[in-house]
Chains A and B, each alone.
Chain A
Amino acid sequence: MTGATIPGILSGHKTVVVAGSGGVGKTTVAAALGNLAARSREARVLVLTVDPARRLATALGVVGVEGEPRLVDSSGRGELWMAMLDARQEWDRLIERHAPDKPTRDAIMRNHLYDSITRRFAHSHEYAAMERLHQFQTSGEWDLIVLDTPPSRNALDLLDAPRRMRDFFSGRLLGWLTVPATSRFTLQAFRPFRLVADRILGGPFIADLTDFFVLIKTMEKGFVERATEVENSLSDESTVFVVVTTPEVGPVEEAARLVGELDRRNCPTGAIVVNRSTPRIDGGDRLVESPTVAELRLFERIESPELLARVVDVMYDTLGQMRHAAALEASLLEALPGGVPTVALPMMQSDIADLEGVVELADRLAASPVALA
């Protein structure tokens, strides 16, 4: 056991990055962390989310105003704001920001490859989210920002996005593709690739592609500088990571890997949240067996003993299954790395779809004992 508490872990930092596998409840945990911070101190807290639970986002009023922070709760000592990012829109903002002039910007957005390319381009969703985070960080308006990471297979894509963006611009192939076609050296070096590409994809397509990247290349300076700043702010000590998992094999393995990778990058994991744990039910440690019908005579108000025996069997089976599931979960969690404060949140009986649910989850987060895994 440690003296660490979730509010304590939050209070020492300016940015909390919530990461984990898809479907483990990152968005609700991020909102609960934000709520916890905003009620315990006079702070302006912003939760940035990319792909939130729709009903929750609608209830909190952030659908339809993508990219703009909305005040969702001011009943505590501080204020809780939330903003939902739309990847496509963020990408448009990037072009606006980095294009050297208006004609270039318009030419990029008009290019008929723009749409399909930007959806895939060097992990553009992750990068767009990171740039937006950086903008909010440097605005000076927020005491704490909680970033709910995009639903990507590998949460580290997010950390790698700035580097990938830099690598993309400094890569030789982009150079080859975008130097004037009259350069003899380039034609020589690029020839084998070009021949294959032409044969498979056809010349006109490659020409379209080249046009597009000549435009993109004009934004190199802005992109590379910003990517470096974004990258630095992540390894800053004011940033802490919270890894969310559910007590299942896949997510736990992903969480363990994530904590290890973060450690290797000198990014501290402040806490691991094990969401939707099977609740522990007290009442004797031994595996409970159904009582005999003789014992059941106590329940005189039930008329049919057979029916009663069946119902009681089901009840005790259910208890046994839940205990069994809880024990399996406990052994699974041993795979999590040691030394990281870990909190188990019991499965809620209904979905979290409004502020009330977020507050309840925050209460549980604050009340749950923090153990060193």
Chain B
Amino acid sequence: MSTPLGLLDRRLLIVTGKGGVGKSTVSAALAECAAARGRRTLVCELDAKGDLARILGTDPVDYSGREVRPDLVAMTMDTEQSLAEYLKVQVKIPFLGRIGPLARVLEFVATAAPGVREILTIGKLAWEARESDYDLVIADATATGHIVGQLSSPAAIRDLVRLGMIRHQLDWMLELLEDPSKTSAIVVATPEEMPVVETMELVGRVRDDTHIDVGAAVVNRVLPAPFTAAERPVFDTLAAIAPEEDCSPPGFFSAVEATTHALRRREVGSSHLRRLREGLPKGLPVLLLPEIFDAAATHGGIDLIAAALAAEANW
């Protein structure tokens, strides 16, 4: 790819994918890339797991948000506070002193009424993207099962709710969400069976059930090829040496075993990656992020991933 991928020029990026594939890692890396390029960025974790703050190497963040790097603010979604804010700002009801009863009302309405929790989430993101001074809002969104409901909630509510002030608000929200120059979804996968299958299904569902653009697929934890084409036969020759010919340096057979294991894993991963590329719509950019051995196990590594992402996207 020679021209830079335009994702960072959007107003709202929604990062989604199957549980455990590294959505928070990709969200954090995108946010770092944007902030480092002078875009004032808000990154918001929707499911309050705390992974995002951990990956960014910072203390937990709440609904009010905190600047964790220059030009990078992190926050956690809280639909109760989003409702309180909405009622105060939009409906002019100063409910804030009595959050208790409000919470109960919300609990009920949100379990009962279709899309209320979803619209409070998407609404807050859209509001920040439109009204505040952020250049870019990045949502570290919920897993695949839920995201289509969230993304389609404004349109679904518009169909269900025929009157009321929310109708007007839905109009500008949809205008933002359905404009591919302003909003894109980014799907994250790993080169494994279930994430690949779910990613292909998800992209299909986002296209069928919403009018939201899918901007890119990011494949996380891709094992790099250990050997060049010239090196591989050399390894195969070495791997064929039998232990009884033992004329080898210390640890040699352990190194053969480790490398064989890594090669096999990479082969399996590559076949999943091929299936993913074949199953995704033509022309959808697919960005590969390398497996960083320490990143999954320790709290570091995000800068390496951000650098790899920037290189892939040509930023």
**B interface footprint on A152-187 (CB within 8 Å = 1, 0 otherwise):** 010000000000100010010110000000000000
Interface members, chain B 291-305 (any A CB < 8 Å): 293-294, 296-299
- The CA of A332 and the CA of B105, in the complex, are separated in Å by 41
Closest B residue to A164 by beta carbon equals: B111
A36-44, A65-73, A137-145, A305-313: which one contacts chain B? Answer: A305-313
Task: Determine which of B111, B194, B234 lies in contact with A53 in the assembled complex, contact meaning CB atoms within 8 Å.
Answer: B194
- The CA of A193 and the CA of B113, in the complex, are separated in Å by 14
Residues on B with beta carbons closer than 8 Å to the beta carbon of A351: 192-193, 268
- The CA of A308 and the CA of B293, in the complex, are separated in Å by 25
Known interface pairs A174-B108, A318-B259; A113-B160 also in contact (CB < 8 Å) = yes
Does B247 contact A298, Cβ atoms closer than 8 Å? Answer: yes
Residues on B with beta carbons closer than 8 Å to the beta carbon of A1: none
Interface members, chain A 280-300 (any B CB < 8 Å): 281-284, 288, 291, 295-296, 298-299
- The CA of A168 and the CA of B111, in the complex, are separated in Å by 9
- Residue B21 lies at the interface, judged by CB distance under 8 Å to chain A: yes
Give the size range of B's interface with the partner: 35 or more
Residues on B with beta carbons closer than 8 Å to the beta carbon of A314: 226-227, 231, 235, 259
- Residue B132 lies at the interface, judged by CB distance under 8 Å to chain A: no
Known interface pairs A121-B112, A314-B259, A318-B259; A199-B143 also in contact (CB < 8 Å) = no
Does B91 contact A117, Cβ atoms closer than 8 Å? Answer: no
- Residue B6 lies at the interface, judged by CB distance under 8 Å to chain A: no
Interface members, chain B 121-149 (any A CB < 8 Å): 142-143, 145, 149
Residues on A with beta carbons closer than 8 Å to the beta carbon of B193: 53-55, 351, 353
A58–chain B nearest beta-carbon distance, Å: 11
Closest B residue to A321 by beta carbon equals: B293
Chain A residues packing against B (C-beta within 8 Å): 21-24, 51, 53-55, 113, 116-117, 119-122, 151, 153, 164, 168, 171, 173-174, 193, 196-205, 208-209, 213, 246-251, 279, 281-284, 288, 291, 295-296, 298-299, 301-302, 304, 307-308, 310-312, 314-316, 318-319, 321-322, 324-325, 328-329, 332, 347, 349-351, 353
Chain B residues packing against A (C-beta within 8 Å): 18-21, 47, 49, 51, 54, 87, 91, 93, 104-105, 108-115, 117, 142-143, 145, 149, 156, 160-167, 192-195, 197, 226-227, 230-231, 234-235, 237-238, 241, 247-259, 261-262, 264-265, 268, 293-294, 296-299
